Structure 1
Amino acid sequence: MATSDDTCKEDNLLFPLPPPSVIAAPQTLPDASLEPPSIQSIISSLNLTAFVEGGYMAETDRNTLEIPSPFPPYPAVTFSDPNPVPENYTFDPETYYRPSFDPSRRSASTTIYYLLTGPGKNGENGGGSPKGYLHRNRGRIIHTLHRGRGRYVILHADEKPCRVESFLVGKDVEKGEKVQWIVEGGKYKGTFVLPVGDGEDGKEDAMIFISETTVPGWEVFDHDFLDRKGLEMLMEGDDEKIKQLEWLVKEE
């Protein structure tokens, strides 16, 4: 099976698959104490915490300007949910929303640091959080790369048939790698870490270290993970496509 980073046409692949250690990485919250010292230094310096999407994050800015929400007044649900509009929904601020959250308002923007790390020392599954699971947000997100290299996979759930897009993020812009990219609301995205290029001479730890700015501001209220049933629906039962993507689906 093809594993080249710069082609996705061999063996009818949607995109080149990463090493088995990335695919098989356990779906648990990462443990910073198991990361290499250089990664631990980044996590400690920026006060990053383990994140349910995979990797580590810290919110660095929440715009004090609030705007009327352009989104529905009920929580986002995953693609496979047969009732995306909850009947008789009543907002309960005591569930899992941040204090003082009002579903009729949104911060104009929010910004976070987000860090994915290599699959663990010597490719083992001890430490490391090398993949971000397929999820979507209602708001558009602007991504900016700081360090590392990886691949993003976008499922255009708002198009029919669902278009699958993938691209590399990295510092080699002459070869088409991206240092800035935008994912519009309503589209599922997943990502995984790749080894740094030869130009880095192997000294930099494998990672994807970025900033994300969400407009309007990010709320868990507007976020959902893609489940296996939703993947099957989006891929219209195409077993080959499902097989290539299922490891990026977060287990329930």
Structure 2
Amino acid sequence: MRMKGKVAIITGGANGIGLAACHRFAEEGAKVIMADFDEASGAEQEAVGKEKGFELTFVQVDVANRESVAQLIEKTLDLHGKIDVLINNAGITNDATLLKMDPAVFQRVLDVNLTGVFNCTQAVVPHMIEAGSGKIINTSSVSGVYGNFGQTNYAATKAAVIGMTKTWAKEFGRKGINVNAVAPGFTATAMVKKMPEKVIAQMESAVSLQRLGEPEDIANAYLFLASEESNYVHGHVMHVDGGIMM
């Protein structure tokens, strides 16, 4: 078990990629904190995980709210006494072209996708510094690398996440903390699967492997970057996109 005895906080953990990651980490022996804003789904998925024998605990959090994040960290430390891994997976979309985008919508996506990553990392890093080790994994996107029509807000946050990842890698490598990012491509989450078949087919045709990614594909990347196998991987942005842009 690659994560036996490790404590991992996974934000956005009650759905989609985050949920797949919670299960994957628990399978590898981690003590998982499933952090999510969605209280109903979180409670349900915690029960599912416990039925499978996972050491998994749901904690409700609003990553955009510093007090809520502080409570998440406090609960994790009360329960497990340490934090080995932080995966900043929580994120939202609210798409529109620039001329049609409401400033409030722009700001809300920034609050969750960017400020949320800042809040969680700033709260966790002191405990990792004290321990002399830790793994931080930030979720970017191919949209943050190449841009995407109608995603001014989302692409901006995901590009900024890459900048923060590389900055934090420079700041915290000397403290024993690895900081990396994952940039997923089109992934077959429940939201994507609800799209018209024609749209999904167009998405698949744009990918070199001719299929959408599965949440487990991204979860496996998280797992590698959180494990000791990646101890010399640092400041890296791992594209998990099926070769959508080459």
Q: Which has the higher contact order (CA 8 A, sep 6+)?
A: 1
Q: TM-score band (shorter)?
A: under 0.3
- TM-score norm. by structure 2 comes to 0.27
Asked which structure has the greater CA Rg, the reply is 1
Greater fraction helix: 2
